[in-house]
Structure 1
Amino acid sequence: MKKLILGTAALALSAGMALAQDVVRLATEGAYPPYNFINDAGDVDGFERDLGDELCKRAELNCTWVTNDWDSIIPNLVSGNYDAILAGMSISPERQEVVAFTQPYTPPSLSAYAALSDDVDLENSVISAQTGTIQANHVVDTGATLLEYPTSDECVDAVRNGEAEAVLADKDVLVPIVNEGDLVFVGEDTALSNGIGMAFRKSDPELKDKFDAAVQSMKDDGTLNELIIKWMGEDSPRW
Protein backbone atom coordinates (compact mmCIF):
# COMPACT_ATOMS: atom_id res chain seq x y z
CA MET A 1 0.00 0.00 0.00
CA LYS A 2 2.85 2.40 0.80
CA LYS A 3 4.33 1.87 -2.65
CA LEU A 4 0.95 2.57 -4.24
CA ILE A 5 0.55 5.83 -2.31
CA LEU A 6 4.05 6.96 -3.22
CA GLY A 7 3.43 6.13 -6.86
CA THR A 8 0.21 8.13 -6.90
CA ALA A 9 1.95 11.08 -5.26
CA ALA A 10 4.74 10.95 -7.83
CA LEU A 11 2.21 10.94 -10.66
CA ALA A 12 0.45 13.98 -9.20
CA LEU A 13 3.78 15.75 -8.83
CA SER A 14 4.64 14.97 -12.45
CA ALA A 15 1.32 16.36 -13.64
CA GLY A 16 2.01 19.72 -12.07
CA MET A 17 5.71 19.83 -12.86
CA ALA A 18 5.45 22.03 -15.95
CA LEU A 19 3.36 24.64 -14.15
CA ALA A 20 5.53 24.63 -11.05
CA GLN A 21 8.79 25.30 -12.84
CA ASP A 22 9.97 28.80 -13.66
CA VAL A 23 10.25 28.24 -17.40
CA VAL A 24 7.95 26.39 -19.80
CA ARG A 25 10.02 24.77 -22.53
CA LEU A 26 8.54 24.88 -26.01
CA ALA A 27 9.94 22.49 -28.61
CA THR A 28 9.89 22.90 -32.37
CA GLU A 29 11.71 21.28 -35.27
CA GLY A 30 13.35 24.41 -36.64
CA ALA A 31 13.30 23.00 -40.16
CA TYR A 32 9.76 23.47 -41.47
CA PRO A 33 9.35 26.97 -42.91
CA PRO A 34 7.21 29.00 -42.79
CA TYR A 35 5.94 27.28 -39.62
CA ASN A 36 9.33 27.12 -37.94
CA PHE A 37 12.96 27.54 -38.99
CA ILE A 38 16.31 28.79 -37.74
CA ASN A 39 17.11 32.31 -38.93
CA ASP A 40 20.50 33.79 -39.79
CA ALA A 41 21.03 34.78 -36.16
CA GLY A 42 20.60 31.15 -35.08
CA ASP A 43 17.23 31.76 -33.42
CA VAL A 44 13.93 29.94 -33.82
CA ASP A 45 11.77 31.96 -36.21
CA GLY A 46 8.58 31.67 -38.23
CA PHE A 47 4.84 31.48 -37.70
CA GLU A 48 5.06 29.25 -34.64
CA ARG A 49 7.73 31.40 -32.99
CA ASP A 50 5.45 34.44 -33.22
CA LEU A 51 2.48 32.36 -32.15
CA GLY A 52 4.22 30.70 -29.22
CA ASP A 53 5.60 33.96 -27.87
CA GLU A 54 2.14 35.55 -27.98
CA LEU A 55 0.49 32.52 -26.38
CA CYS A 56 3.00 32.57 -23.53
CA LYS A 57 2.36 36.28 -23.01
CA ARG A 58 -1.40 35.75 -22.83
CA ALA A 59 -1.04 32.73 -20.55
CA GLU A 60 1.34 34.75 -18.33
CA LEU A 61 4.06 32.12 -18.63
CA ASN A 62 7.82 32.49 -18.99
CA CYS A 63 8.78 30.34 -21.99
CA THR A 64 11.95 29.28 -23.72
CA TRP A 65 12.51 27.53 -27.06
CA VAL A 66 14.36 24.33 -27.86
CA THR A 67 14.72 22.44 -31.13
CA ASN A 68 14.40 18.71 -31.64
CA ASP A 69 14.50 16.42 -34.68
CA TRP A 70 11.05 15.58 -35.95
CA ASP A 71 11.28 11.80 -35.63
CA SER A 72 11.90 11.95 -31.87
CA ILE A 73 9.93 15.06 -30.98
CA ILE A 74 7.00 13.24 -29.35
CA PRO A 75 9.10 10.68 -27.42
CA ASN A 76 11.22 13.49 -25.96
CA LEU A 77 8.09 15.37 -24.90
CA VAL A 78 6.76 12.29 -23.14
CA SER A 79 10.17 11.77 -21.51
CA GLY A 80 10.04 15.27 -20.01
CA ASN A 81 12.79 16.92 -22.03
CA TYR A 82 10.42 19.84 -22.70
CA ASP A 83 6.82 20.73 -21.93
CA ALA A 84 5.01 21.38 -25.21
CA ILE A 85 5.41 21.02 -28.97
CA LEU A 86 4.72 23.71 -31.59
CA ALA A 87 6.02 22.13 -34.76
CA GLY A 88 3.44 22.10 -37.52
CA MET A 89 2.02 18.93 -35.96
CA SER A 90 -1.31 17.80 -37.38
CA ILE A 91 -3.82 16.49 -34.87
CA SER A 92 -4.40 12.81 -35.63
CA PRO A 93 -6.04 9.91 -33.77
CA GLU A 94 -2.72 8.05 -33.62
CA ARG A 95 -0.94 10.97 -31.97
CA GLN A 96 -3.86 11.58 -29.62
CA GLU A 97 -3.25 8.14 -28.16
CA VAL A 98 0.12 9.38 -26.91
CA VAL A 99 -0.20 13.15 -26.31
CA ALA A 100 -2.91 15.71 -25.59
CA PHE A 101 -3.59 18.50 -28.10
CA THR A 102 -5.00 21.96 -27.73
CA GLN A 103 -7.70 23.04 -30.12
CA PRO A 104 -6.16 23.60 -33.57
CA TYR A 105 -4.40 26.91 -34.12
CA THR A 106 -4.64 26.52 -37.90
CA PRO A 107 -7.72 25.31 -39.78
CA PRO A 108 -7.40 22.04 -41.68
CA SER A 109 -5.02 22.83 -44.52
CA LEU A 110 -4.37 21.06 -47.77
CA SER A 111 -1.49 18.80 -48.69
CA ALA A 112 -0.09 19.06 -52.21
CA TYR A 113 2.27 17.34 -54.62
CA ALA A 114 5.13 19.19 -56.32
CA ALA A 115 7.36 17.91 -59.11
CA LEU A 116 9.75 19.12 -61.79
CA SER A 117 7.09 18.71 -64.49
CA ASP A 118 3.32 18.45 -64.58
CA ASP A 119 3.15 15.06 -66.37
CA VAL A 120 4.10 12.91 -63.37
CA ASP A 121 2.01 9.76 -62.88
CA LEU A 122 1.51 10.05 -59.12
CA GLU A 123 0.01 6.58 -58.72
CA ASN A 124 3.06 4.89 -60.19
CA SER A 125 5.84 7.17 -58.99
CA VAL A 126 8.36 7.44 -56.19
CA ILE A 127 7.01 10.09 -53.81
CA SER A 128 9.08 11.70 -51.07
CA ALA A 129 7.52 12.70 -47.75
CA GLN A 130 8.82 13.53 -44.30
CA THR A 131 9.14 10.60 -41.92
CA GLY A 132 6.31 10.20 -39.41
CA THR A 133 3.86 12.55 -41.12
CA ILE A 134 0.30 12.22 -42.35
CA GLN A 135 1.67 12.76 -45.85
CA ALA A 136 3.95 9.72 -45.59
CA ASN A 137 1.01 7.61 -44.45
CA HIS A 138 -1.06 8.88 -47.37
CA VAL A 139 1.60 7.97 -49.95
CA VAL A 140 1.53 4.38 -48.64
CA ASP A 141 -2.27 4.34 -48.86
CA THR A 142 -2.21 5.44 -52.51
CA GLY A 143 0.05 2.57 -53.50
CA ALA A 144 2.86 4.82 -54.74
CA THR A 145 6.42 4.12 -53.64
CA LEU A 146 7.30 6.10 -50.51
CA LEU A 147 10.75 7.60 -50.03
CA GLU A 148 11.07 9.05 -46.52
CA TYR A 149 13.48 11.71 -45.28
CA PRO A 150 13.97 13.30 -41.84
CA THR A 151 13.23 16.87 -43.03
CA SER A 152 10.99 18.56 -45.58
CA ASP A 153 14.02 20.18 -47.24
CA GLU A 154 15.49 16.75 -47.93
CA CYS A 155 12.18 15.65 -49.43
CA VAL A 156 12.24 18.56 -51.87
CA ASP A 157 15.92 17.99 -52.65
CA ALA A 158 15.09 14.37 -53.51
CA VAL A 159 12.85 15.62 -56.32
CA ARG A 160 15.44 18.10 -57.55
CA ASN A 161 18.11 15.39 -57.50
CA GLY A 162 15.97 12.86 -59.35
CA GLU A 163 15.66 10.45 -56.42
CA ALA A 164 11.90 11.02 -56.25
CA GLU A 165 9.45 12.12 -58.92
CA ALA A 166 7.29 14.23 -56.62
CA VAL A 167 7.08 15.41 -53.02
CA LEU A 168 3.94 15.45 -50.85
CA ALA A 169 3.82 18.03 -48.06
CA ASP A 170 1.66 20.74 -46.52
CA LYS A 171 0.77 23.13 -49.31
CA ASP A 172 1.72 26.11 -47.14
CA VAL A 173 5.25 24.72 -47.00
CA LEU A 174 5.45 24.08 -50.75
CA VAL A 175 4.04 27.42 -51.96
CA PRO A 176 7.27 29.44 -51.47
CA ILE A 177 9.30 26.58 -52.96
CA VAL A 178 7.13 26.38 -56.07
CA ASN A 179 7.29 30.16 -56.35
CA GLU A 180 11.07 29.82 -56.77
CA GLY A 181 10.28 28.46 -60.22
CA ASP A 182 11.84 25.01 -60.63
CA LEU A 183 8.98 22.92 -59.18
CA VAL A 184 5.29 22.94 -60.11
CA PHE A 185 2.19 21.70 -58.35
CA VAL A 186 0.82 18.48 -59.82
CA GLY A 187 -2.32 16.43 -59.27
CA GLU A 188 -5.10 17.33 -56.88
CA ASP A 189 -4.66 18.94 -53.49
CA THR A 190 -5.61 16.56 -50.68
CA ALA A 191 -7.28 17.27 -47.33
CA LEU A 192 -5.44 15.10 -44.80
CA SER A 193 -5.22 17.29 -41.71
CA ASN A 194 -7.66 18.01 -38.88
CA GLY A 195 -5.71 21.17 -38.16
CA ILE A 196 -2.46 21.80 -36.31
CA GLY A 197 -2.27 22.02 -32.53
CA MET A 198 0.10 22.22 -29.59
CA ALA A 199 0.96 18.86 -28.05
CA PHE A 200 1.41 18.18 -24.32
CA ARG A 201 1.98 15.26 -22.01
CA LYS A 202 -1.35 13.85 -20.91
CA SER A 203 -0.18 14.37 -17.33
CA ASP A 204 -0.12 18.18 -17.82
CA PRO A 205 -3.80 19.09 -18.34
CA GLU A 206 -3.51 22.42 -16.50
CA LEU A 207 -0.72 23.62 -18.76
CA LYS A 208 -2.62 22.50 -21.86
CA ASP A 209 -5.73 24.34 -20.67
CA LYS A 210 -3.78 27.58 -20.21
CA PHE A 211 -2.54 27.46 -23.80
CA ASP A 212 -5.92 26.33 -25.08
CA ALA A 213 -7.51 29.44 -23.59
CA ALA A 214 -4.79 31.60 -25.11
CA VAL A 215 -5.37 30.09 -28.56
CA GLN A 216 -9.08 30.82 -28.24
CA SER A 217 -8.41 34.43 -27.25
CA MET A 218 -6.24 34.90 -30.37
CA LYS A 219 -9.01 33.50 -32.52
CA ASP A 220 -11.56 35.77 -30.85
CA ASP A 221 -9.64 39.02 -31.41
CA GLY A 222 -8.36 38.20 -34.90
CA THR A 223 -4.65 38.17 -34.09
CA LEU A 224 -4.31 34.50 -35.05
CA ASN A 225 -5.62 35.24 -38.54
CA GLU A 226 -3.16 38.13 -38.79
CA LEU A 227 -0.26 35.76 -38.08
CA ILE A 228 -1.54 33.22 -40.59
CA ILE A 229 -1.71 35.90 -43.30
CA LYS A 230 1.72 37.26 -42.34
CA TRP A 231 3.49 33.90 -42.63
CA MET A 232 1.34 31.80 -44.99
CA GLY A 233 -0.29 34.41 -47.20
CA GLU A 234 -3.80 35.51 -48.04
CA ASP A 235 -4.69 32.17 -49.66
CA SER A 236 -3.98 30.06 -46.59
CA PRO A 237 -7.04 28.79 -44.67
CA ARG A 238 -7.80 30.91 -41.60
CA TRP A 239 -10.43 31.32 -38.92
Structure 2
Amino acid sequence: MATLRTDWLTEGWIDFEYKKYMLMAYLQEVNGNFDQAKLFPDLLNVQTHYELATQLKNSKNEIVASFPKKVTGVDFKKKRFVYEKFQESEKLTEIDSILDYSLPLFQQTLTQGQTQYADIEAQLTFAPVGIVPLHLKEGYLFLYRTRRSETDIYHYQVRLFEHHDQRGVQTTYLETVRKGISTTFENLKLTLIKKRRELPNPATYLVESPADYPVQETLLPIAKRLIVKHVA
Protein backbone atom coordinates (compact mmCIF):
# COMPACT_ATOMS: atom_id res chain seq x y z
CA MET A 1 0.00 0.00 0.00
CA ALA A 2 1.33 3.41 -0.97
CA THR A 3 1.24 6.07 1.75
CA LEU A 4 0.85 9.84 1.65
CA ARG A 5 -0.35 11.81 4.65
CA THR A 6 -3.59 13.71 4.20
CA ASP A 7 -1.80 16.90 5.32
CA TRP A 8 1.18 16.30 3.01
CA LEU A 9 0.62 19.61 1.24
CA THR A 10 0.90 21.87 4.29
CA GLU A 11 2.95 19.68 6.63
CA GLY A 12 6.68 20.32 6.99
CA TRP A 13 8.74 22.13 4.40
CA ILE A 14 6.49 23.93 1.91
CA ASP A 15 8.57 23.87 -1.25
CA PHE A 16 7.34 23.07 -4.75
CA GLU A 17 10.23 20.77 -5.76
CA TYR A 18 10.13 18.91 -2.45
CA LYS A 19 6.36 18.36 -2.57
CA LYS A 20 6.60 17.40 -6.24
CA TYR A 21 9.12 14.68 -5.31
CA MET A 22 6.83 13.40 -2.52
CA LEU A 23 3.84 13.29 -4.86
CA MET A 24 5.67 11.57 -7.71
CA ALA A 25 7.10 8.91 -5.39
CA TYR A 26 3.61 8.24 -4.00
CA LEU A 27 1.87 8.07 -7.37
CA GLN A 28 4.61 5.87 -8.80
CA GLU A 29 3.93 3.34 -6.05
CA VAL A 30 0.16 3.61 -6.57
CA ASN A 31 0.52 3.04 -10.32
CA GLY A 32 2.77 0.07 -9.62
CA ASN A 33 0.02 -1.45 -7.47
CA PHE A 34 -2.57 -0.73 -10.16
CA ASP A 35 -0.34 -2.52 -12.69
CA GLN A 36 -0.60 -5.60 -10.45
CA ALA A 37 -4.41 -5.15 -10.27
CA LYS A 38 -4.15 -4.16 -6.60
CA LEU A 39 -6.75 -1.41 -6.33
CA PHE A 40 -7.46 -1.05 -2.63
CA PRO A 41 -6.92 0.84 -0.43
CA ASP A 42 -4.97 3.01 -2.90
CA LEU A 43 -7.99 3.88 -5.06
CA LEU A 44 -9.92 5.24 -2.08
CA ASN A 45 -6.86 7.10 -0.78
CA VAL A 46 -6.19 8.78 -4.14
CA GLN A 47 -9.84 9.83 -4.29
CA THR A 48 -9.52 11.35 -0.80
CA HIS A 49 -6.35 13.23 -1.78
CA TYR A 50 -8.01 14.56 -4.93
CA GLU A 51 -11.12 15.73 -3.07
CA LEU A 52 -9.07 17.40 -0.32
CA ALA A 53 -6.84 19.17 -2.84
CA THR A 54 -9.91 20.35 -4.77
CA GLN A 55 -11.54 21.66 -1.59
CA LEU A 56 -8.34 23.43 -0.57
CA LYS A 57 -8.02 25.02 -4.00
CA ASN A 58 -11.63 26.22 -3.94
CA SER A 59 -11.50 27.49 -0.36
CA LYS A 60 -8.23 29.31 -1.07
CA ASN A 61 -9.84 31.12 -4.00
CA GLU A 62 -12.84 32.01 -1.83
CA ILE A 63 -10.59 33.36 0.94
CA VAL A 64 -8.62 35.51 -1.51
CA ALA A 65 -11.84 36.81 -3.07
CA SER A 66 -13.18 37.79 0.37
CA PHE A 67 -10.23 40.04 1.27
CA PRO A 68 -11.05 43.77 1.19
CA LYS A 69 -9.53 45.39 -1.88
CA LYS A 70 -8.37 48.97 -2.40
CA VAL A 71 -9.93 50.86 -5.30
CA THR A 72 -7.18 52.15 -7.60
CA GLY A 73 -9.29 53.61 -10.39
CA VAL A 74 -12.29 53.31 -12.69
CA ASP A 75 -12.58 51.48 -16.02
CA PHE A 76 -15.09 53.72 -17.86
CA LYS A 77 -15.31 51.44 -20.90
CA LYS A 78 -16.35 48.44 -18.81
CA LYS A 79 -18.13 50.66 -16.29
CA ARG A 80 -16.54 49.15 -13.22
CA PHE A 81 -14.02 49.92 -10.49
CA VAL A 82 -10.41 48.72 -10.77
CA TYR A 83 -9.10 47.11 -7.59
CA GLU A 84 -5.58 46.62 -6.34
CA LYS A 85 -4.39 43.07 -6.96
CA PHE A 86 -4.19 40.95 -3.82
CA GLN A 87 -0.59 40.24 -2.86
CA GLU A 88 -0.23 36.64 -1.78
CA SER A 89 2.36 35.50 0.72
CA GLU A 90 5.24 33.39 -0.54
CA LYS A 91 3.90 30.27 1.18
CA LEU A 92 0.42 30.78 -0.27
CA THR A 93 1.88 31.18 -3.75
CA GLU A 94 3.93 28.00 -3.28
CA ILE A 95 0.88 26.03 -2.12
CA ASP A 96 -1.05 27.31 -5.12
CA SER A 97 1.69 26.06 -7.46
CA ILE A 98 1.71 22.66 -5.76
CA LEU A 99 -2.07 22.41 -6.05
CA ASP A 100 -2.01 23.32 -9.74
CA TYR A 101 0.59 20.63 -10.33
CA SER A 102 -0.95 17.88 -8.17
CA LEU A 103 -4.63 18.13 -9.07
CA PRO A 104 -4.30 16.89 -12.70
CA LEU A 105 -2.05 14.03 -11.55
CA PHE A 106 -4.46 12.96 -8.83
CA GLN A 107 -7.33 13.12 -11.32
CA GLN A 108 -5.41 11.11 -13.92
CA THR A 109 -4.50 8.39 -11.40
CA LEU A 110 -8.03 8.33 -10.00
CA THR A 111 -9.52 7.94 -13.48
CA GLN A 112 -7.11 5.11 -14.26
CA GLY A 113 -8.04 3.27 -11.06
CA GLN A 114 -11.77 3.77 -11.58
CA THR A 115 -11.54 2.52 -15.16
CA GLN A 116 -9.61 -0.55 -14.00
CA TYR A 117 -12.19 -1.12 -11.26
CA ALA A 118 -15.04 -0.99 -13.79
CA ASP A 119 -13.22 -3.40 -16.13
CA ILE A 120 -12.66 -5.94 -13.36
CA GLU A 121 -16.20 -5.62 -12.00
CA ALA A 122 -17.58 -6.25 -15.51
CA GLN A 123 -15.77 -9.61 -15.58
CA LEU A 124 -17.27 -10.83 -12.31
CA THR A 125 -20.42 -12.88 -11.96
CA PHE A 126 -22.62 -12.00 -8.99
CA ALA A 127 -25.52 -14.27 -8.08
CA PRO A 128 -27.45 -15.51 -5.03
CA VAL A 129 -26.99 -19.14 -4.02
CA GLY A 130 -30.21 -21.03 -3.37
CA ILE A 131 -33.38 -19.41 -2.06
CA VAL A 132 -33.03 -15.74 -1.15
CA PRO A 133 -34.44 -15.04 2.35
CA LEU A 134 -36.08 -11.82 3.51
CA HIS A 135 -33.15 -10.93 5.78
CA LEU A 136 -30.25 -9.91 3.52
CA LYS A 137 -28.03 -7.96 5.89
CA GLU A 138 -26.18 -11.01 7.18
CA GLY A 139 -25.09 -14.22 5.52
CA TYR A 140 -22.27 -15.80 3.53
CA LEU A 141 -20.12 -14.73 0.64
CA PHE A 142 -18.53 -17.27 -1.73
CA LEU A 143 -15.53 -15.84 -3.57
CA TYR A 144 -14.72 -18.28 -6.37
CA ARG A 145 -11.66 -18.02 -8.61
CA THR A 146 -12.18 -20.36 -11.55
CA ARG A 147 -8.48 -20.67 -12.40
CA ARG A 148 -7.73 -21.99 -8.90
CA SER A 149 -11.00 -23.93 -8.47
CA GLU A 150 -11.04 -22.54 -4.93
CA THR A 151 -13.88 -20.94 -3.02
CA ASP A 152 -13.07 -18.54 -0.20
CA ILE A 153 -15.98 -18.46 2.24
CA TYR A 154 -16.77 -15.38 4.34
CA HIS A 155 -19.41 -14.45 6.83
CA TYR A 156 -20.71 -10.97 6.01
CA GLN A 157 -22.74 -8.31 7.80
CA VAL A 158 -24.06 -5.10 6.26
CA ARG A 159 -23.56 -2.19 8.65
CA LEU A 160 -24.45 1.48 8.58
CA PHE A 161 -21.56 3.88 9.20
CA GLU A 162 -22.98 6.44 11.62
CA HIS A 163 -20.64 9.28 10.69
CA HIS A 164 -21.08 8.91 6.92
CA ASP A 165 -24.67 7.61 6.70
CA GLN A 166 -23.43 4.96 4.27
CA ARG A 167 -23.69 1.20 4.22
CA GLY A 168 -20.61 -0.98 4.33
CA VAL A 169 -19.93 -4.71 4.59
CA GLN A 170 -17.88 -6.30 7.34
CA THR A 171 -16.51 -9.74 6.47
CA THR A 172 -14.94 -12.54 8.48
CA TYR A 173 -12.95 -15.21 6.68
CA LEU A 174 -14.16 -18.73 7.50
CA GLU A 175 -12.38 -21.20 5.20
CA THR A 176 -11.26 -22.04 1.67
CA VAL A 177 -12.82 -25.05 -0.04
CA ARG A 178 -11.49 -26.84 -3.10
CA LYS A 179 -14.34 -27.08 -5.57
CA GLY A 180 -14.73 -30.32 -7.48
CA ILE A 181 -17.36 -31.61 -9.90
CA SER A 182 -19.55 -32.93 -7.09
CA THR A 183 -19.06 -29.87 -4.88
CA THR A 184 -21.79 -27.43 -5.81
CA PHE A 185 -22.29 -24.01 -4.23
CA GLU A 186 -25.70 -25.17 -3.01
CA ASN A 187 -24.00 -28.07 -1.19
CA LEU A 188 -21.48 -25.69 0.34
CA LYS A 189 -24.36 -23.56 1.63
CA LEU A 190 -26.10 -26.59 3.16
CA THR A 191 -22.86 -27.63 4.85
CA LEU A 192 -22.50 -24.16 6.36
CA ILE A 193 -26.09 -24.26 7.67
CA LYS A 194 -25.38 -27.59 9.40
CA LYS A 195 -22.09 -26.38 10.89
CA ARG A 196 -23.29 -22.89 11.93
CA ARG A 197 -26.73 -23.18 13.48
CA GLU A 198 -26.96 -19.46 14.30
CA LEU A 199 -27.90 -18.76 10.65
CA PRO A 200 -30.56 -21.36 9.72
CA ASN A 201 -31.62 -19.57 6.54
CA PRO A 202 -28.71 -17.35 5.46
CA ALA A 203 -28.51 -15.08 2.46
CA THR A 204 -25.62 -16.40 0.39
CA TYR A 205 -23.97 -14.73 -2.57
CA LEU A 206 -21.48 -15.99 -5.10
CA VAL A 207 -18.89 -13.74 -6.73
CA GLU A 208 -17.06 -15.62 -9.46
CA SER A 209 -13.89 -14.33 -11.07
CA PRO A 210 -12.43 -15.76 -14.30
CA ALA A 211 -9.04 -14.21 -13.48
CA ASP A 212 -6.88 -14.69 -10.41
CA TYR A 213 -7.03 -11.11 -9.13
CA PRO A 214 -5.65 -10.29 -5.66
CA VAL A 215 -8.28 -11.10 -3.07
CA GLN A 216 -7.70 -8.59 -0.28
CA GLU A 217 -6.72 -5.69 -2.54
CA THR A 218 -9.32 -6.18 -5.28
CA LEU A 219 -11.81 -9.05 -5.32
CA LEU A 220 -13.06 -8.83 -1.74
CA PRO A 221 -13.56 -5.02 -1.74
CA ILE A 222 -15.46 -5.22 -5.04
CA ALA A 223 -17.54 -8.14 -3.76
CA LYS A 224 -18.48 -6.12 -0.66
CA ARG A 225 -19.71 -3.27 -2.85
CA LEU A 226 -21.74 -5.67 -4.98
CA ILE A 227 -23.47 -6.96 -1.84
CA VAL A 228 -24.24 -3.41 -0.71
CA LYS A 229 -25.75 -2.62 -4.13
CA HIS A 230 -27.89 -5.77 -4.01
CA VAL A 231 -29.09 -5.26 -0.45
CA ALA A 232 -29.83 -1.56 -1.05
Q: TM-score, normalised by structure 1?
A: 0.27
Higher relative contact order (CA 8 A, sep 6+): 1
